[in-house]
Structure 1
């Protein structure tokens, strides 16, 4: 499943570039339960022949409030790194990988040290030592370091009551490319 940020005016080009097959799963969401964009766009996509179109009707704020994480695309990562000075990047790679190729200003929380449960392991240590923003749990956290480990740590962070967590499924090289304007 992929994510594409598009509007009803730009979807033909945006979605067709991302999804060559019309049987690719597409999940649409809006800013809340009263937003009608995703409903209209879903109808347009179905009419255009897409067969696996779903809507998350309650919107992204409710998704996050219920502990859901989002996957961020390169364009979104670029925008956050350029414009959100409060965002915290979390690098889940193991120490040897990080030492060989550091990501600027990323906070290290290696996947292998993240344990199941609340207030345990490396996440507890990161909360205690200042690597994670304890004053504001709505601070945007972006987790990098590979799709599977990044998602795992992102989900663990939401269980610690951080409400605005995204993970980047791309490679470190793709994340580095997002640093460039």
Structure 2
């Protein structure tokens, strides 16, 4: 009987110790929890219905000046303290923050700083500016928005050499439609159509070079611009027509 009593007593003490350990750990877990998120369509509806909330662009001020969501204010991560007065006085007011998509951490950094400043109703628009723009939702465009960019183009010979010698360091992306990809694409390419490129770009690793191509350059130029806005550091463009003209092969696949 005494042994049973000792067993029960030790079990209760063990459970109590476990409870205290979990109780101590809970604040750390809560502090690291993800912020709530909002979809593109819901955020669009919120803006159209003129709901009361503050929209924060957490990208750099230069990016904000090029283009931003309607009614957004600019509070870059590194300038939070300087611009905190732009946030509402009511610490419980709804604040939605965005940056350059799912792989951009700037909106979460600003949200964390706002949380530390006492704000309690913080939501992240995770898709960010590139997807919003891709969906054709309203933006405020500055004079630099339509400025043409110079892409880093690869010749067919350069691309062939990369695929032969450094394939693991790059991702080759065919940005044409699915049926065009099936009819003939460069071996090793993946297919992400240009019209949904930003929305599906999460599969592309930022630590690798990204090579985008299409038939003649228009759609791959668009994808290249989106990659720039998504802050990919190493981007290249190739042209399928030039690849074929050089006599290099394409492969077919099933839809």
Q: TM-score, normalised by structure 2?
A: 0.36
| Higher percent of residues as helix | 2
- Which structure is higher in RCO with an 8 Å CA cutoff and minimum separation 6? 1
Q: TM-score, normalised by structure 1?
A: 0.49
